[in-house]
Amino acid sequence: MSCTQGPWYVNSNNPHYLPYIFADDGRLVGSVSALGNTKDALADAYLIAAAPDLLGACKKAMCFLTILTPKTQAEVLQEIIDDLIAAIAKAEGKI
């Protein structure tokens, strides 16, 4: 199974309209409707837009946990932590 390559971002220039999720190449990934509640729709859109980042961070963490070695532990762990922090912030609409 494949999906539209990330990163994805939310275009919410006008708070009175539904937010749209676009791929980095400009293709429309989707839109969100929350039955008139634009605040919830925007929060949902940010969460959806973070999906590729969250999946990537999870895959990286899984690889790290399965091949953990003392030599690379600190460097790789910091990279995973940074990716997770960024993905969570994106899902929460903070970046």
pLDDT above 70 for 1 = no
Residue 77 three-state SS: helix
| Mean pLDDT over each residue of the chain, to the nearest integer | 81
pLDDT tens-digit series, residues 4-63: 888 999 987 766 678 899 999 999 999 888 776 677 888 899 999 999 988 888 888 877
Distance CA 53, CA 55 (A): 5
Q: What confidence tier does 72 reach under pLDDT thresholds 50, 70, 90?
A: low
